[in-house]
Structure 1
């Protein structure tokens, strides 16, 4: 399997390959980078090479927490991962979200700035560790041998609550996860992030990422325009209280 990244993403590609090798060394079920010198550069783009996945479906909430339980206790590796940035590329997404009015985009920029200020002063929580950064069912492949972790672009060092909030917002924000599913998730991990100080900040940052992701792609995918606008309307208080019914975008 070949992955071709955006121009200027050489360091990120190197880090992803290093993370894959580190996960393999620690027996974490994850997609494996092929044992070749990589990445390579083709027409200014970093190219990486990966093992083909076996037959699979998307993972489940239970699969996600099982993999996080394998990942979070690991010691931080000796190669640079960088610190978690919950707002990485959010500004670029807003700039690209041309299906939105400038009024809405201005509000999103102000919201990002507000949340960034809060993040700097966020309350302490669980000890920092290696986090996946985008731990949801779409980044887990369910195979006959068990779940496999995918997509290491956002792997970094940060609060483990960031990985937990991706599932929590599916309960409290979008309604995509049922209360029994979420209760099992919390029981298996041993923490309910919705009960921790700072959950409002964590969930707000994740909601902003989800809304701006949809808005960015709606600029080139007209079929996503309605959903992108709906998400922004929800954040702006135009659609009543949570949970909202956000439609998944892949």
Structure 2
């Protein structure tokens, strides 16, 4: 049995037990994605999300955030109402969400509009939303990067320490707001019923709005995933260009490093992905020329 098969078997066992606990029908459950989280489609337009071990508090906070956004009429993924969430099975938090209608990645303008609406909200007072931590789980991912050499891991540890120092001395920018925390284009979608919906709220917190804006700038100028014209439309729609801020390069470098650490984690679980982490590290080390770089998506 491969590592991926083992992970799927473990996730399905957790799902079955969680559904029994919550009184939800798990018959015919369909695996949608097996990555950072495992997603299953269930009867009744319910999507079950199974987090990695140790994420129960984050999962509970995500449900609260989703319900807070719904109360403020901000279109976002909706937690199934009437259920106590999460259910924790063998250390893994399971939450349930209303399945979206057919949808696609948001356009640059849709992302900008969604972020503008989110950033205009008042900071919640009814629960502790937490402060943005751009380095969450990075040490764990570095240490578990089983396909990397010790020299590579040593370089990543040093890079992480340097980025932490730079984060601590960021220049003044926009006032802190509620931020999405992982606002790349795939986490803002346009649905067939005409909505623009925020997904994956687990990093939602209070922090600099520039963190959210940097994701689209990285998409444009690190990865050439959208055109410069699309980026200009994004800036015009949101009303602020993060690239003009003196702290932008720090946030860009942190975002690129997070993406590299994710690739390291994926390669550790699926060695077929190892060439991608080698390539990303070479880019960060200046061995693949200037940006933009071509990075392959990892789950």
- Is 1:113–2:161 an aligned residue pair? yes
Ranges in structure 1 where 5+ consecutive residues have no aligned partner:
none
Residue of structure 1 in register with 2:15 after alignment: none
TM-score by length of 2: 0.81
Q: Does 1:160 align with 2:209?
A: yes
**Structure-2 separation of matches of 1:226 and 1:47:** 32
The secondary structure found in structure 1 opposite 2:156 is: helix
Mapped pair 1:128 → 2:128: no
Task: Provide the TM-score with structure 1 as the length reference.
Answer: 0.96
Aligned to 1:27: 73
- Which runs of at least 4 in structure 1 moved beyond 4 Å after TM superposition? none
Gap regions ≥5 residues in structure 2: 1-46
Q: Distance between the aligned counterparts of 2:151 and 2:52, measured in 1?
A: 30
User: How many aligned residue pairs are there?
Assistant: 250
SS in 2 for 1:41: strand
Please give the secondary structure, in 2, of the residue aligned with 1:111: helix
Larger radius of gyration: 2
1:227 alignment partner, one of 276, 280, 285: 276
Question: Which residue pairs with 1:93 in the alignment?
Answer: 141
Q: What do residues 223-245 of structure 1 show as CA deviations (whole Å, max 9, x unaligned)?
A: 32212111100001111111212
Equivalent residue, structure 2, for 1:82:
130
Tell me how large the CA RMSD over aligned residues is. Answer: 1.3
Q: Which moved more, 1:220-229 or 1:13-22?
A: 220-229
CA distance 1:43–1:212, change in 2 (3 Å) = closer
Match of 2:101 in 1: 54
Cα offsets for 1:144-189 (capped at 9, x unmatched): 2222110111011000000000010112211112100100000101
